[in-house]
Amino acid sequence: MSLSDNPDLQPILFMLFLSFYMVTVLGNLLIILAVSSDFHLHTPMYFFLSNLSWSDICLISTTVPKIIWDIRTQSRVISYAGCLTQMSMFIIFACMDGMLLTVMAYDRFVAICHPLHYNIIMNPNLCAFLLLASVLASLVDSQVHNLIVLQFKYFNDIEISNFFCEPSQLLNLNCSEMFTKIIVIHIIGVFFGLFSTSGIIFSYYKIISSILRIPSTEGKYKAFSTCGSHLSVACLFYGTAIVVYISSTASNSPENSVVASLMYTVITPMLNPSSTA
């Protein structure tokens, strides 16, 4: 489904998405370059931030280049293999974003609530393990969705009510697999979503409790400023992702899903470099 059928808007949409893509890629590449070149930034927080930047570049690259190409060629067609590949890559990097945001919340929790033990707790081995666990969880989530979609018998000449092969929209294509669809969306989605969001909520509950015990206003502001940008990006990412999954099951209106999808597939990756600048 195109974002707009108005021919006068096509050049504007083309330049808009091209600008989004260039800003996101260049901004995140600058973060990666800065972290890798400055020895003082070789800390757990910037280690996870640089990996989040890689994930954001890959996430936006799974959707926006195809959008730009579709606007340029006035074509909305994607092949069966291309659709499954796009869905698979999207789930991997979207899940990676969510897992890394959770890990970064834990990192901020340790830094603020246990500052004297920070270097001992957040040692290189734990950082590597948390990154590996995030990658493995993302691969499992992607493969589960792939296995379910591959079971669909009729997957030809259909219309996807979104601007890319969004997983929840693909699962809605086969009405006969309602039980399977419910299992994937509610159980798998809730497992990964609930694990990540509960980790972030618990971390920030502890962080806010510790900040409120700081006597000086300046100290409270300094402590909260280290995690304010992360919290805003995490809320935007998970808030819009939840809207997409809820609207896919509770509403037949594709417009709400498209707007929410734009937020967490295009806007959130672009906010990563700007919020950490």
SS3 177: helix
**What pLDDT does residue 181 have?**
61
Quote the CA–CA distance of 174 and 181 in Å, as a whole number: 9
Mean per-residue pLDDT of the chain: 80
What digits encode the pLDDT tens for the residues 69-84?
Answer: 988 888 888 888 888 8
Is the per-residue pLDDT at 132 higher than 90?
A: yes
Mean pLDDT of 139-163: 77
Distances (CA, A) of 116 to 110, 121, 125, 178: 9, 10, 18, 52
**DSSP letter at 183?**
I
Say if residue 68's pLDDT is above 70: yes
Check pLDDT > 90 for residue 54. Answer: yes
Most confident of 5-19, 211-225, 230-244, 259-273: 5-19
More confident residue, 240 or 120: 120
What the chain holds in terms of domains, given with CATH numbers, is 7-276 (1.20.1070.10)
pTM (2 d.p.): 0.84
Cβ-in-10-Å burial (0-12, 13-18, 19+) of 184 comes to buried
Query: Is the pLDDT assigned to residue 239 strictly greater than 90?
Result: no
pLDDT at 130: 94
| 147 pLDDT higher than 70 | yes
Name residue, tokens 């959130």.
268
According to the model, what pLDDT value does residue 21 have? 92
pLDDT at position 61 is: 93
